[in-house]
Amino acid sequence: MYKAKAYSAAGASSLLASDTINRRESTATDVQIEILFCGICHSDLHTARNEWADVMPTVYPVVPGHEIVGKVTEVGAAVTKYKLGDIVGVGCLVDSDHTCPSCQVDMEQFCPEGVFTYNSPDKHLGGVTFGGYSESIVVDESFVLNVPANLDLAGVAPLLCAGITTYSPLRHWGVAEGKKVGVVGIGGLGHMGVKFARAFGAHVVVFTTSPSKIEDALRLGAHEVVNSRNADEMAAHVGSFDFILDTVSADHDINAYINLLGMDGNLTLVGAPEKPLPVSAFGLLFGRKSLSGSLIGGIAETQEMLDFCGEHGITADVEVIRIQQVNEAYERMLRSDVKYRFSIDMASLKDE
Ligand SMILES: [Zn+2]
Ligand SMILES: [Zn+2]
């Protein structure tokens, strides 16, 4: 065991503050990583404030962060995939049972024994796992990702959650050239959805309630932008979409979007509104449409996503901050006052 600097929250109403945590010594299959950048995900805020108490109650102190990029500083004796100095990533998962039906098909995110990067039981040290708001982390090599050398590392960090969360359903539902794809909401998730859908060759339409985001949506790769509050603009697209990615986590009318799907079209939710969303069955019946959800992606697919980003020069649009600004960043994230993800320069933790 060794001590590592970190930022943690001591309780649901506490601000994040400088702390010292325990990390395990590397086992034979572990990789020790010096963290260079960590993205800020909405899940970090929900967990820090125990807003998912019913599903995943927070154990304090909590060290959030699951969009991790860093440099390998130590490898266990049996590690084969990584060597000292490699630039690597860690996302939302750090372990699984490797044997269940989900793991057997590379869908570790659905493993009943899956271990999340923070606030999951830690089988090595007891207590819970600590995430990426820290100077280092120790992770089994099978949950460590290779980061393409050509990408800006601050912008790579959010790929580990926001990137794979949008890449996976777009791939699963066959988004490609000749398909018409909608992306609802332009935030941390939505802006990545637009970049991927465009890179896959689809015709991309962005739905937003903020006219101020129109120009930016086009810059990110949208072919068209629809003001979802304008009934005429919405009506012009009825029955025409192959796939719609809905990234909105606030309460909203999904029937308006189901209406825009064509035959066999699919709407996938990647946001998690607090209250159940009403769905009109008729909207699905006519046209054999479907409504789905999606949660991050498995390790193999996350590596595929990173490799794709390397080939196509794709990163998240980030605002780099110091760890000392994290509480202010949470407040700004709640106001959607960021384009489009905060990425913490973890070198700033050395000043604590
Ligand atoms: Zn996340
Ligand atoms: Zn499993």
Query: Which ligand has the shortest distance to the CA of 105?
Result: 2
Q: Ligand 2 (ion): which residues have CB within 5 A?
A: 96-97, 100, 103, 111
Angle at which helices 162-172 and 188-199 cross, to 10°: 40
Q: Pick the residue with more confidence: 121 or 54?
A: 121
Better-predicted residue by pLDDT, 212 or 91: 91
Distance 189 CA to ligand 1 centre (A): 9
Kindly list the protein residues that place their beta carbon closer than 5 angstroms to ligand 1, a single-atom ion. Answer: 41, 43, 161
Q: Residue 192's pLDDT is what?
A: 98
* pLDDT at residue 127, as a whole number: 97
Does the pTM of the predicted model rise above 0.85?
yes
What is the pLDDT averaged over residues 145-172? 98
Give the pLDDT confidence score for residue 210 in this predicted structure.
86
Q: Read off the pLDDT band of 328 (50, 70, 90).
A: very high
pLDDT digits (tens, 9 = 90+) for 93-127: 999 999 999 999 999 999 999 999 999 999 999 99
93-95 and 115-116 beta bridge pairing: antiparallel
Ligand lying closest to the C-alpha of residue 104: 2
Residues linked to residue 142 through DSSP beta bridges, in sequence order = none
Provide mean pLDDT across the span 196-213: 95
105, burial (CB in 10 Å: exposed 0-12, middle 13-18, buried 19+): exposed
Rounded to whole angstroms, the Cα distance separating 301 from 167 reads 9
Confidence category of residue 346, pLDDT binned at 50, 70, 90: very high
3-state secondary structure 69-120: EEEEEEECCCCCCCCCCCEEEECCEEECCCCCHHHHCCCHHHCCCCEECCCC
End-to-end CA gap in the chain: 21
With 90 as the cut, is the pLDDT of residue 141 above it?
yes
Arithmetic mean of pLDDT, 204-223: 94
According to the model, what pLDDT value does residue 300 have?
98
Ligand 2 center to 102 CA (angstroms): 5
Instruction: Tell me: pLDDT of 211 over 90.
Output: no
Q: Give the distance from CA 255 to its chain's centroid.
A: 25
In tens, the pLDDT along 253-308 reads 999 999 999 999 999 999 988 788 999 999 999 999 999 999 999 999 999 999 99
Rounded-to-integer distance, Cα 112 and Cα 57, Å: 17
Q: What is the mean pLDDT of residues 51-76?
A: 96
Pick the ligand that lies closest to the CA of residue 157. Answer: 1
